[in-house]
Amino acid sequence: MTALPAPGPEADRDLPLDAHLHTNLSPDSDVPIDAYCAAAVERGIPEIAITDHVDFDPRDQAYSFATFAERERQVRDAAARWADRGLRVRFGVEVTYESRFDAEIREHLARHPYDYAIGSVHVAASSPYLASRVASWVAGRSFDEVVTPYFGEVEAAIRSELFDTLGHLDYVKKYLVDHVPPSAFAARPDVYEPLLRALVESGTALEVNASGLRQPPGETYPAAPIVARFRALGGRRVTAGSDAHRVHSFAYGLGHVYATIAASGLDAPRLVPRHPGR
């Protein structure tokens, strides 16, 4: 396989889409939407999706941070302002999936007209992967026992058929990096098989998320061999996102992500209209 390009402004430009971005209507971002729009025009990226957080656990910061109406107005207004610069701005969402909130999430998505919905498993207030408890929790557990809480929820998120895209499939690598290195995940591709089969069977797109390239794992979520395996199993739909929370992270690593996708034999990422009934 040819070498994948290193992240940077030379490689991360003239690409069709950045499908995962957080503005200052997410509690962990400070970016005004127009800063992303200007960066997209400057980089030659003609389509972006704004995917601010929606959480359903009242203990999570995004639970009551911004209303649907505020988020929709911000994105639709920006889309109108930037349309004549050749930029398409899509109104998306990144929902934190927890199976115990499945019914609430289902109702939210049924009632709110997003262009695009990412479902992601995060490390919630009750998670064993929180920095304050991960070391003692990992000790004495097998690899399978360690990854099951995360991967089990990811499989439930996919099987819910609520989402267009499953976000950062193995983001748990970030929280485990000091205890279970990315090489341990690479050595166990079998644990990904149920997730990849669920994606293919449900028609849910796989996101190749660049944020791991700027975080300690130093590789995409998921890594290139998992993207290739998705293709081999019959997967076709992929999206690509920088998951920027700061303006300097806009499109960061996207050149690497698009090269990973092309090397696996998949077509370039694109947003498709929401699945009927989702």
Taking CB under 5 A as the binding criterion, the range among 38-46, 58-66, 90-98, 101-109 that sits at the site for Zn ion is 90-98
Tell me how many residues contact Zn ion (CB under 5 A): 3
- Minimum CB distance to Zn ion, residue 242 (Å): 9
Residue 164 within binding range of Zn ion, rule CB under 5 A: no
- Minimum CB distance to Zn ion, residue 209 (Å): 8
- What is Dmax (Cα atoms) for the chain? 58
Residue closest to Zn ion, measured at CB = 120
Q: Which residues contact 102 (CB under 8 A, 6 or more apart)?
A: 156, 160, 162
- Minimum CB distance to Zn ion, residue 241 (Å): 7
CA angle 240, 59, 154 (to 5 degrees): 35
What is the distance between the alpha carbons of residues 64 and 59, in angstroms, rounded to a whole number?
A: 10
Residue 55 within binding range of Zn ion, rule CB under 5 A: no
Between 12 and 243, name the residue whose CB sits nearer to Zn ion: 243
Taking CB under 5 A as the binding criterion, the range among 59-67, 120-128, 129-137, 197-205 that sits at the site for Zn ion is 120-128
Between 105 and 231, name the residue whose CB sits nearer to Zn ion: 105
What is the distance between the alpha carbons of residues 196 and 212, in angstroms, rounded to a whole number?
A: 19
What is the distance between the alpha carbons of residues 31 and 248, in angstroms, rounded to a whole number?
A: 10
Between 94 and 155, name the residue whose CB sits nearer to Zn ion: 94
Taking CB under 5 A as the binding criterion, the range among 9-17, 190-198, 241-249, 259-267 that sits at the site for Zn ion is 241-249
- Minimum CB distance to Zn ion, residue 87 (Å): 20
Which of 15, 21, 243, 255: binder of Zn ion (CB under 5 A)? 243
CA angle 214, 218, 222 (to 5 degrees): 100
Residue 120 within binding range of Zn ion, rule CB under 5 A: yes
Separation of CA 105 from chain center: 17
- Minimum CB distance to Zn ion, residue 272 (Å): 20
End-to-end CA distance of the chain: 38
What is the distance between the alpha carbons of residues 278 and 158, in angstroms, rounded to a whole number?
A: 12
* Radius of gyration for the alpha carbons in the chain, expressed in angstroms and rounded: 18
Which of 18, 52, 55, 94: binder of Zn ion (CB under 5 A)? 94
- Which residues lie near Zn ion (CB under 5 A)? 94, 120, 243
